[in-house]
Amino acid sequence: MKIKEIVSALEQFAPLPLQDGFDNAGLQIGLTDAEVTGALLCLDVTETVLDEAIALGFNLIIAHHPLIFKGYKSITGKDYVERCILKAIKNDLVIYAAHTNLDNAPEGVNFKIAEKIGLKNVRVLETKENALVKLVTFVPTAQAEDVRKALFNAGCGNIGNYDSCSYNLEGEGTFRASEGTHPYCGEIGEIHTEKEIRIETILLAYKKAEAVKALLAAHPYEEPAFDIYPLQNTWAQAGAGVIGELETTETELEFLKRIKKTFEVGCLKHNKLTGREIQTVALCGGAGAFLMPLAIRNHADVFITGEIKYHDYFGHENDILLAEIGHYESEQYTKEIFYTLIRDLFPNLEVQQTKVNTNPIKYM
């Protein structure tokens, strides 16, 4: 199989439009038309990881953190990023990164962390805004079902755990075809009235082009009429951080000790213990301190993330228990998401999680 098949599967799970504006997720280096010889999964791309892939005979590296974040005016090997770029190109390696798109994806990074902790009723903490649009079109009654199916197949009509959602209203459309047209119904030069169905359905904004293409292909009219409206509705399935509940409450100390063990944390930082019981848990992998106010507003007992600044600890001991477990530690299980996805879809592909611990932070 070709590398582009693997990339397509990754982007179906974590679409690139879900990434934050600062990010550089996606294909980093290489040509995806190459046949894949194996995939190595990692959190960070380093020279040692590249050496591991080369030794295994793998030509695809899938990382969580992008190797390339900024633009380069020259590639001379002056730092580890440039050396990795040179080595990857020299050895025909393809590097792909799924970063904040995987953070924000349904069942992405934060859902995996919640699974490791044992949370139930997990939902997104900060849902994606301006992610949805409504498509409205008008179709002759006899062809309405075909057009609906085409739109649903293109990703329209998904609301929460429901699919094939639409609203349909009967009415009449009028038009007059000019010379040189090829009308589906009616005569050139005469006003025609046609029984039509107004179809309304919702879709993700980044799927708009795909939906319009499907509409034009399935619609019988030469010039179909359709409207697309922006919506203020939130998309509850995607966004930053998650919140959920433990099946049974734990003391602060019991909970922190379990987190330290589960994520193999060398140094777990936290604010003052106040004797609260822990049941509602909010979290965000990586640098997620920006979600702390939202965790407090949602009445979480504890907020877990990879990085918290010194001054962010002040003044919250009565609001919430803060737990800082390290950036690498919080996102290390990202590799498991990649592994499960690829193993399920491509069972014959050789795939391994890196044996290299790429955490640049060491603890004494």
Q: What is the pLDDT of residue 234?
A: 86
Given a cut of 90, is residue 128 above it in pLDDT? Answer: no
DSSP sequence for 60-109: EEEESS-S--S--S---S-SHHHHHHHHHHHTT-EEEE--HHHHHSTT-H
pLDDT of residue 290: 97
List the Cα angle 226/230/232 in 5-degree steps.
145
Q: Helix or strand or coil: residue 213? A: helix
pLDDT of 18 strictly over 90: yes
CA dist., res. 303 & res. 364, Å (int): 25
| pLDDT of 97 | 98
Helix axes 109-117, 334-345, angle to 10 degrees: 110
The answer to whether residue 173 scores a pLDDT higher than 90 is yes
- Prediction pTM value: 0.89
Instruction: Report the mean per-residue pLDDT for the chain.
Output: 96
What does the pLDDT read at residue 318? 93
Task: Please write the tens of the pLDDT for every residue from 224-275.
Answer: 999 999 999 888 899 999 999 999 999 999 999 999 999 999 999 999 999 9
Q: What pLDDT, on the 0 to 100 scale, is given for residue 130? A: 86
